[in-house]
A and B are shown apart, each in its own frame.
Chain A
Amino acid sequence: MDEKNSLTEINTVSASERKTPIAPPAKAIKKKSTIVKLVLIGVAMVIGIILAFVPMRFGLTLYHPFLSKESISLGLDLQGGVYAVYQATNTDTDNFDAKMEGTKSSLESLLSSKGYTEATIVREGTDRIRVEVPDVDDPSGILKVIGEPTTVRFVLDSTNETIITGDNIVNADSGYTEQNGYVVSLEFDSEGRKKFADVTANNQGSTISIYLGDSTTPIQTANINETIPNGRAIISGNFTAESSRELAGQIMSGTFDVALELKENQTISPTLGENAMKYGLIAGVVGFVLVIAFLCVIYRMMGVAASLALVIYLIIYLFFLAVLPWVQLTLPGIAGILLSIGMAVDANVIIFERIKDEYRGGKSIMAAYHAGFKKALFAILDSNVTTVIACVLLMLLGTGSISGFALTLLVGVLISLFTALIVSRAILKYFINLNSYNAKLYHLKRGKQFEGLDADSTDANVLADMEREQKEKDDKQQEKERAKAERRSRKNRGGETA
């Protein structure tokens, strides 16, 4: 804060020295409010840093910062997880190999629909499938996720006839409806749709039981309440969020092409462990400090503004990593985040180079700042939109770890847009408000034609321009509102007379 106060002092001296104190009277007030705003940003940053990095204890509850194992879910390589090996029980069927592949991809989509995008599924030997799921500590946790794959059949109780098997089920998912609370929704293929439509039309009032494997006790029995012609059925009952998910999972696991039995499951230790995390963190800190140093040397106060924005970028990024459930941090993820810090600087660099250009071309610092941001805006937006396009498509179409990685990148791009175009813009504006005449502070140089020009010679004009623009905007807004109000009142009057 000392620095800022001294800046104010210098200003008052130099302003009196100069012949034409063209600064409008509002400026002095602005300075005070600017300092207040900067202090507020500083306080917010400190709070953010504490929330992001410092573990705390409030009485008995422990607070985990954004950057901690507890907050960010880690991938198999960093955190370990569990694995399970499933063995096909019946290998004598036709097209066994194709069916195993089909089962494998069913498992893949089942796991990624449950949020385990980083799970890996591999065929072992000819008749085994190995599933590795990260971020689950308990070996039996994997069973909760995929259940014990087996066959599923829907049996009409009155005739004891099997109407639907796993082959006919396209999807089973848990859902919530206003009337029935938590439900399990089913979707059948064309064959299943027809059968189910026939059976439900002819057997209203009787019950359907769902059996798993060779078991004779149904996991669920449901009443047929109405004809279901469209192949979309809903099982309702006293479900909770968890039990509906469990039933949906059990039914889904019965849709696999091959019946599987669990052979073994165990925990997996992380392959990289503490060291990878530790050195990744050190690399990050060292790189971060170097980047900030680089920015401050090349762009001075502008660099300081960008560095502050970068810290805020990091805090927000860590927050999203901790909050978004689909983001699972793996080793490439860490490298990707570190890289994104380097990339987040890009927008600032573009803007600052523009400001330098504008200043070189004879504008005052304030004017160069406004023109710089304005001119850089579309370059930044266009370049980031293309990256967003790529990320979104990879997220939607890509499977497994690819979509997870694309999401991490997407979050980084969006946050960097926010910090570069809004945060660093605001901070830099406050800096210039405090000192708009010392070009050296911003490492700005005049071009040859404009060497004699004062750094803030045209500020009064700029401010006047800005004021005029603002006024025009306000006027337009008022005009609009007035027109709106008028329309409304006319309408009301019209309504009354009619």
Chain B
Amino acid sequence: MKLKEKFNNLMDQDFRIAEKRKLVFIIPLVIVVVAAIMMIVFRFTLGSAFNLGTDFTGGYSVDVKLGNKLTESNKQVYFDQIEEVFQSVTGDNGKTYKIDISGAMQLQGSGDTASIRVKYAQINGVSENEMSTYVNPAIVTALENKVLNKVPNVVIDGKVITATYDEVINADGDNSPFADLCAALIKALPGINESTNAGITATESSITINPENKKQVIITSSTDVTNSANVSRAIVSAMNLPDKYSGSVSGGDMVGATVSTELLFTAILAVSLALIFMLCYIGLRFQLSSGLACIIALFHDLIIMFAAMAIFHVEINSTFIAALITILGYSINNSIIIFDRVRENMRSIYAKNMTPEQVANKSIKDTLLRSINTTITTLIMIAMVAIIGVSDIRIFAIPIIIGLLAGTYSSICIAPSLWALFQRVGKNRANFNLPPVDKNKQKQKGPKQSQASA
């Protein structure tokens, strides 16, 4: 109730927004300056002013083809493993790189031909040459070692350890996966014994493939093996079978930008033309000065969106273009509703007795409830998307929320005060109660009395 009363009191008072030009323009200016500073800071610390995604810059891609069948359940395990690999990659030059995966990993093909496609951008401060000679091969090797492993299911029963794989283990010849596995095991077992006290006494001759089920490798120890979680985990990791034999990692190739320069160019062309047409339309239906104020307010909103992306260094991808277009449509609406009131208030006979600021203020006041209510309903919808939606949809929602708030601000504060400013110039002065232009540049004062229309 209290809030309501306060609000009613506020609505009874005269507004003074259009006069406070300095304050109104300083707020966005501060944001832009902060953004500029942050851009400079990011330029020198991270290497790029904007965090442009591979949609714009292009980058590299790696295809991880798996020997195992990719299923809904093991998909996430692979995704996590790949992510882990990218977190720290050590190249042949001894340097360790941290690489951000761009966008979502893509699943290709199905069944036996399934593969995972990962895209990543060139690391800031690392040359193209360094990427192709050190980083990309390192990524491929690291992925081969880490991700392409077949993980067995291990059962310990007395002296016998049985490891069951998803697939038949090839044991033909000296270079077969099984031979590699034996060699690796003989190497690893003493270490396991030492750390876990398992008591495995296996030699090469007691590691065999189950002749009835060739998916099973059986290790026979001469003494009982301790059956504990610790031991079986150690054995599982020692028996990870490299999947190089059936899977493969390929790539480290350059990929171009999905958003081509041509697309960007036509988009900019379309937007510029749209702005010109809108200016003409508003100029015809309202005044040219209203049109200019609308367009400037619109630019303000778009610039604020860019500024926010720069300040928080959020990745800009192609969905950001969609967000800009949405705000383009939305923001112009807001300003026009206010100028519609201005148009109406100008028709009233009292306009002649008012200053442009007073007309602007009255129009702001008349449309304030509408501005607030519309912003609330729109914010409700998009905020739900930001709160409930998955992370990818959130990336889209956040610039929109910023654009909405900027749009509300610019339509209430910037557009009307700009309009009032324009009215003080040129022929338009005659429409208002303004003293003739004073060449001594004395401060102008509005008329003392202005009757509000009943």
Residues of A within 8 A of B (CB): 77, 80, 83, 104-105, 108, 120, 122-126, 128, 130, 266-269, 271-272, 275-276, 279-280, 282-284, 286-288, 290-291, 294-295, 298, 331-336, 338-339, 341-343, 345-346, 349-350, 353, 356-357, 361, 375, 378-379, 382-387, 389-391, 393-394, 396-402, 405-406, 409, 413, 449
Contacts and interface: CB of A to CB of B under 8 A. Distances in A.
Given A266-B113, A286-B388, A402-B321, A298 B373 contact: yes
Interface string B2-43: 000000000000000000000000000000000000000000
B392 A267 contact: no
A267 B109 contact: yes
Contacts of A122: 58, 255-258
Given A383-B336, A397-B270, A389 B277 contact: yes
B255 A269 contact: no
B277 A280 contact: no
A265 to B, nearest CB: 10
B380 A342 contact: yes
Closest 3 CB pairs of A and B: A342-B378, A269-B107, A123-B256
A402 B340 contact: no
B267 interface: yes
Interface in B42-61: 58, 61
Given A287-B380, A386-B281, A349 B373 contact: yes
Interface of A is mostly: helix
A385 B332 CA distance: 10
Nearest to A409: B329
Nearest to B262: A105
A279 B393 contact: yes
Contact of B385 (A335, A346, A378, A389): A335
A335 B266 contact: no
B451 interface: no
Contact of A390 (B105, B254, B274, B397): B274
B253 interface: yes
A386 B321 contact: no
Given A283-B384, A398-B270, A268 B379 contact: no
Contacts of B113: 266
Contact of A353 (B110, B318, B369): B369
B425 interface: no
B61 A124 contact: yes
Contacts of B344: 375
Contacts of A126: 254
- Determine which residue in B58, B263, B269, B366 has the highest number of CB atoms from chain A within 10 A of its CB, and name it: B263
A345 B278 contact: no
B387 interface: yes
Nearest to B285: A382
Contacts of A283: 384-385, 387-389, 393
B337 A350 contact: yes
Interface string B309-333: 0000000001101110110111011
Given A130-B255, A266-B108, A399 B266 contact: yes
Contacts of B389: 276, 279-280, 283, 335
Interface in B350-378: 366-367, 369-370, 373-374, 376-378
Given A272-B392, A283-B385, A399-B266, A393 B281 contact: no
B329 A387 contact: yes
Given A332-B396, A402-B325, 6 more contacts: A105-B262, A108-B262, A272-B104, A280-B385, A335-B396, A346-B370
B225 interface: no
B222 interface: no
Contacts of B105: 271
20 contacts: A105-B260, A108-B260, A122-B258, A125-B253, A268-B108, A284-B384, A334-B393, A335-B385, A335-B389, A335-B393, A336-B322, A338-B385, A339-B400, A342-B378, A378-B340, A394-B274, A398-B263, A399-B263, A400-B263, A406-B325
Given A298-B373, A402-B267, A275 B255 contact: no
A136 to B, nearest CB: 14
- Determine which residue in A282, A398, A413 has the highest number of CB atoms from chain B within 10 A of its CB, and name it: A398
A345 B375 CA distance: 10
A136 B78 CA distance: 26
Contacts of B58: 122
Contacts of B254: 123-126
B374 A345 contact: yes
B106 A390 contact: no
A295 B336 CA distance: 23
Given A353-B369, A382-B285, A287 B273 contact: no
A345 B382 CA distance: 14
Interface of B: 58, 61, 103-110, 113, 115, 253-258, 260, 262-263, 266-267, 269-271, 273-274, 277-278, 281-282, 285-286, 294, 318-319, 321-323, 325-326, 328-330, 332-333, 336-337, 340-341, 344, 366-367, 369-370, 373-374, 376-385, 387-390, 392-393, 396-397, 400, 454
Contacts of B374: 342-343, 345-346, 349-350
A455 B104 CA distance: 59
Nearest to A388: B329
Contacts of A282: 388
Nearest to A351: B370
Contacts of B382: 287, 335, 338-339, 342
B151 to A, nearest CB: 22
B385 A287 contact: yes
A287 B103 CA distance: 27
Given A130-B255, A402-B267, A393 B260 contact: no
Nearest to A403: B270
Nearest to B258: A120
A409 B324 CA distance: 12
B337 A290 contact: no
B384 A386 contact: no
Contacts of B400: 335, 339
Contact of B109 (A77, A266, A338): A266
A358 to B, nearest CB: 12
B378 A339 contact: yes
Contacts of B392: 77, 271-272, 276, 331
A397 B329 contact: no
Contacts of B260: 104-105, 108
A282 B384 CA distance: 9
A335 B333 contact: no
A207 B267 CA distance: 45
B106 A268 contact: yes
Contacts of A267: 108-110
B266 A397 contact: yes
Contacts of B106: 268-269, 271
A386 B336 contact: yes
A42 B128 CA distance: 64
A350 B258 CA distance: 41
Nearest to B253: A125
Contact of B267 (A338, A361, A394): A394
A131 to B, nearest CB: 11
B356 to A, nearest CB: 20
B323 A332 contact: yes
B190 to A, nearest CB: 44
A356 B282 CA distance: 27
Given A271-B104, A394-B325, A406-B325, A276 B281 contact: no
A348 to B, nearest CB: 9
B337 A387 contact: no
B365 to A, nearest CB: 11
Nearest to A393: B274
Given A338-B382, A342-B379, A390-B328, A379 B366 contact: no
Given A275-B390, A393-B273, A384 B325 contact: no
B325 A405 contact: yes
Contacts of B378: 339, 342-343, 345-346
